């Protein structure tokens, strides 16, 4: 952990009893220059500053306790809505086939095997994080005019020590003009993939993420494949990741193909996106048409959690509505 002189003191104020994974930078528009550590699961819904944890340390602070994606309540609702269709979760993968194995089982053994399959399915359905877009790095370390004109190409210096987390790695670029600057996020991702290749990720962006190719994928109903490739290729807080996810969700909403993502790990992210944009109508209608009344009511409940000031939320609180009543209060 290299250069954290300034931020450590701030963090110690904030940490309290919450645990290290919930640390966030308080009231800063963009991270400190030395702070290459970006907290991964520190999402903020709808772009508002994450003040929920700070409220523990600062008493009498904001009454706007904006729920995040990673809250337990929100996560349970999203997991319930995603469903668990074993046949769909364990759909035959396109790989080299081997002949199947057969076992003779009693009813008890069969139930045990099914239970283990359900556990494995739950692991597969773990949702990828929903984060804010990362701020660009525009930091110059040194200006050496003396080197101008000596080289014709940029040089990228990467620290390849094995035990440093990738977010804290030093990657700097010496321009032909002599400036030594920090590498931008795209350059960082590329360099890290070159030296520490991750499976499923390519160094250069695959052409499938171009507009026309994405359109072809959408027309073939392969939204799940697009999202899986996107998760493998980009970092969760990069601009392309967020853009592609939003584009996919928009396309699903336009054509009403919500069922494609049900029982996949992307359903939670999609529901969160729609609730944040306040456009849950299509999803609600689809759920009602498929007779998933519980899911519909939990979607409305989620909406009320996020926007307790809306009219339908107030009505529901007055009537203490449940299930169908809740949906009706939302709809009318």
Partner 1 sequence: MAAVVRAAAGCLPVLCCAPAVTADELWKGALAETGAGARKGRGKRTKKKRRKDLNRGQIIGEGRQGFLWPGLNVPLLRNEAVQTIAQRSKEEQEKVEAEMVQQREEWDRKRKMKVKRERGWSGNTWGGVSLGPPDPGPYGETYDDFDTRILEVRNVFNMTAKEGRKKSIRVLVAVGNGRGAAGFAIGKATERADAFRKAKNKAVHYLHYIERYEDHTIFHDISLTFKRTHIKMKKQPRGYGLRCHRAIITICRLIGIKDMYAKVSGSMNMLNLTRGLFCGLSRQETHQQLADKKSLHVVEFREECGPLPIVVASPQGPLRKDPEPEDEVPDVRLDWEEVKTAQGMKRSAWLGLKRAAT
Q: Which residues bind partner 1 (CB under 8 A)?
A: 86-87, 90-95, 97-110, 113-114, 116-117, 120, 124
DSSP per-residue string spanning 50-70: --TTHHHHSTT--S-----TT
Would you say 76 or 116 has its CB closer to partner 1?
A: 116
Please report where in the chains the tokens 């799940």 appear, as a residue: 224
63-74 burial, b for 16+ CB within 10 Å, e for fewer? eeebbbbbbeeb
User: Residue 215: what are its φ and ψ, rounded to 5°?
Assistant: -60, -40
Would you say 95 or 152 has its CB closer to partner 1?
A: 95
Give residue 87's Cα distance to chain centre.
25
Q: What is the closest distance, in whole angstroms, from the C-beta atom of residue 88 to partner 1 in the complex?
A: 11
Taking the C-alpha atoms of residue 68 and residue 131, their distance in angstroms, rounded to an integer, is 10
Taking residue 59's Cβ as centre, other Cβ atoms within 10 Å add up to 6
Q: What is the closest distance, in whole angstroms, from the C-beta atom of residue 101 to partner 1 in the complex?
A: 5
Q: Is beta strand 140-143 parallel, antiparallel or unpaired with respect to 155-158?
A: unpaired
Q: What is the closest distance, in whole angstroms, from the C-beta atom of residue 95 to partner 1 in the complex?
A: 6
Q: What is the closest distance, in whole angstroms, from the C-beta atom of residue 84 to partner 1 in the complex?
A: 12
Taking the C-alpha atoms of residue 305 and residue 301, their distance in angstroms, rounded to an integer, is 6
Taking residue 90's Cβ as centre, other Cβ atoms within 10 Å add up to 12
Reduced to 3 states, what is the DSSP secondary structure of residue 332? coil
User: Residue 242: what are its φ and ψ, rounded to 5°?
Assistant: -65, -40
Would you say 110 or 324 has its CB closer to partner 1?
A: 110
CB 172 within 8 A of CB 183: yes
Q: What is the closest distance, in whole angstroms, from the C-beta atom of residue 199 to partner 1 in the complex?
A: 18
Q: What is the closest distance, in whole angstroms, from the C-beta atom of residue 94 to partner 1 in the complex?
A: 8
CB 42 within 8 A of CB 23: yes
Q: What is the closest distance, in whole angstroms, from the C-beta atom of residue 233 to partner 1 in the complex?
A: 23
Would you say 54 or 84 has its CB closer to partner 1?
A: 84
Sequence-distant (≥ 6) Cβ neighbours of residue 182 within 8 angstroms: 137, 139, 140, 141, 171, 172, 173
Reduced to 3 states, what is the DSSP secondary structure of residue 178? coil
Would you say 1 or 94 has its CB closer to partner 1?
A: 94
Would you say 91 or 154 has its CB closer to partner 1?
A: 91
Q: What is the closest distance, in whole angstroms, from the C-beta atom of residue 112 to partner 1 in the complex?
A: 9
Would you say 124 or 317 has its CB closer to partner 1?
A: 124
Q: What is the closest distance, in whole angstroms, from the C-beta atom of residue 265 to partner 1 in the complex?
A: 14
Q: Which candidate, 305, 286, 304, places its Cα nearest to that of 296?
A: 286
Would you say 98 or 145 has its CB closer to partner 1?
A: 98
Would you say 94 or 146 has its CB closer to partner 1?
A: 94
Positive or negative, the CA dihedral 138, 142, 147, 153 is negative
């Amino acid at each position: 952990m290299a250069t954290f002189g300034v931020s450590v003191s701030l963090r110690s104020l904030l940490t309290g009893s919450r645990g290290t994974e919930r640390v966030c930078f308080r009231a800063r528009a963009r991270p400190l220059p030395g702070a290459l550590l970006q907290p991964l699961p520190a999402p903020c819904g709808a772009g508002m500053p994450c003040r929920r944890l700070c409220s523990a340390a600062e008493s009498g602070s904001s009454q706007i306790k904006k729920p995040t994606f990673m809250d337990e309540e929100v996560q349970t609702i999203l997991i319930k809505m995603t469903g668990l269709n074993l046949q769909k979760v364990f759909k035959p993968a396109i790989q080299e086939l081997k002949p199947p194995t057969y076992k003779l089982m009693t009813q008890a053994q069969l139930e045990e095997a099914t239970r283990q399959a359900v556990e494995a399915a739950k692991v597969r359905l773990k949702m990828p994080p929903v984060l804010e877009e990362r701020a660009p790095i525009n930091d110059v370390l040194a200006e050496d005019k003396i080197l101008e004109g000596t080289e014709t190409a940029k040089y990228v210096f990467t620290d390849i020590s094995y035990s440093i987390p990738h977010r804290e790695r030093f990657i700097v670029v010496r321009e032909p003009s002599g400036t030594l600057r920090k590498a931008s996020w795209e350059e960082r991702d590329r360099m890290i993939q070159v030296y520490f290749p991750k499976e499923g990720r390519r160094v250069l962006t695959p052409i499938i993420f171009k507009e026309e190719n994405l359109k072809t994928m959408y027309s073939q109903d392969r939204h799940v494949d697009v999202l899986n490739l996107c998760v493998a290729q980009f970092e969760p807080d990069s601009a392309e990741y967020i853009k592609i996810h939003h584009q996919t969700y928009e396309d699903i909403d336009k054509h009403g193909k919500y069922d494609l993502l049900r029982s996949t790990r992307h359903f939670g992210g999609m529901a969160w996106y729609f609730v944040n944009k306040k456009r849950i109508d299509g999803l609600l209608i689809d759920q009602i048409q498929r007779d998933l009344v519980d899911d519909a009511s939990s979607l409305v409940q989620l909406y009320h959690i996020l926007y307790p000031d809306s009219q339908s939320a107030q009505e529901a609180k007055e009537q203490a509505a449940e299930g169908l009543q809740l949906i009706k209060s939302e709809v009318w």
